[in-house]
Structures are given as structure tokens and as C-alpha cells.
Amino acid sequence: MGPRHQPWRKMPRKVQPYGSGDDTEAAALARSRPDLAPGYVNELAATMTIGEVATQAVEAVRALNQLMADGEELAGPGEAREVVGRLALMGHQLPELCEQLARFLVAQREDGQISQGTGGDPDGVLVEVSEALSAAGRAADMMAAALAEAGTKAAGLDLPSR
């Protein structure tokens, strides 16, 4: 079986970790420079693996939880809305990531990189993993929509009462 044209199968590229506005601005500037290598996002991502970026995302959420648990105060309702909005943005990106992970695993199986599975059935395990990733993507979509709604509703919290 020869290689098939699969437009979704691209070389993995480094991605920008969820970060500050400065990181976002740097990434936008990096994307706008024509002389950079294809797939280049920003200098931070160029030094990190995908696994390291995922670890950083987990650590960022853990830090948010810890700061809130320790009683760190937000500057006000506006800052709370900002956090909710950024969580919604992250949630909107998770379904695509889940789909890309499933595609990667399918491609690995097609390339012979996955040859074993539970009970010797890698295809059956791959179907289960793909279904679980699809369910996670749908759940992330619902979470992101709920967070976006919370952010919209929270917009009225800092209005002076009449």
C-alpha cells in the first residue's frame, strides 16, 4: 500500500503555549514576518516540545487554582471576566487539539508505528481512543460555550445599581 495524499498529515509544528498578552503579541509579530521558517510561531514555542507546552498549560491552570485558593484577590469583576474569557478561548481550542491527536494516532497506525494494542487489537483500541477524544472535544465545546456565557453574564456585575 503506497502513501496516500492526506492534507491533514503535516509535520508537527511547535505551538504557542497559552500565555500573556505579550506572548500573543510576539506570536502575531512572528507570524507576520515573511522570512521565518514555515510553522514558526514564536521564540518560546521554538524552544519547547509539544509535551512541554502541555505541561506548562497544566501548571498554569494549577497555579490559577492555587492563587484563588490562597485568597489572592482579583482587581475586580473586570479581571474575573478576563480570566473567564481566556478560559473560554482555551476551551474553544481544545476540540481541534483532540481531533489532531486522534488524527496523529491514526497516521501512526497507518505508518506501522502502532502495532500492538490491548489483547493484540490496536485497531479496536484506536477506535476507543478516537471516540474518547471526540467525546472530550464535544465536552470542551460545551465547557467553552458555558464559560463564554458566564463571561457575557458577568459583564453586568460591575455596572452601578440603580
Give yes or no for a contact between 140 and 94, defined as CB atoms under 8 angstroms apart: yes
Segment 55-88, tens digit of pLDDT:
999 999 999 999 999 888 888 888 889 999 999 9
Rounded CA gap, 141 and 133, in Å? 12
Q: Which pLDDT score is estimated for 76? A: 82
Q: Which pLDDT score is estimated for 37? A: 54
Q: Which pLDDT score is estimated for 1? A: 42
- What are the grid coordinates assigned to 111, written together? 505508518
CB atoms within 10 A of CB 144: 19
pLDDT one digit per residue (tens) for the chain, 162 residues = 444 444 333 333 333 344 444 444 444 444 444 444 555 566 657 888 999 989 999 999 999 999 999 888 888 888 889 999 999 999 999 999 999 999 999 999 999 898 887 777 889 999 999 999 999 999 999 999 999 999 988 888 765 555
Q: How is 81-124 classified by DSSP, letter by letter? A: HHHHHHHHHHHHHHHHHHHHHHHHHHHHHHTTS----GGG-HHH
Q: Which pLDDT score is estimated for 59? A: 95
Q: Which residue has the cell 500565555?
A: 19
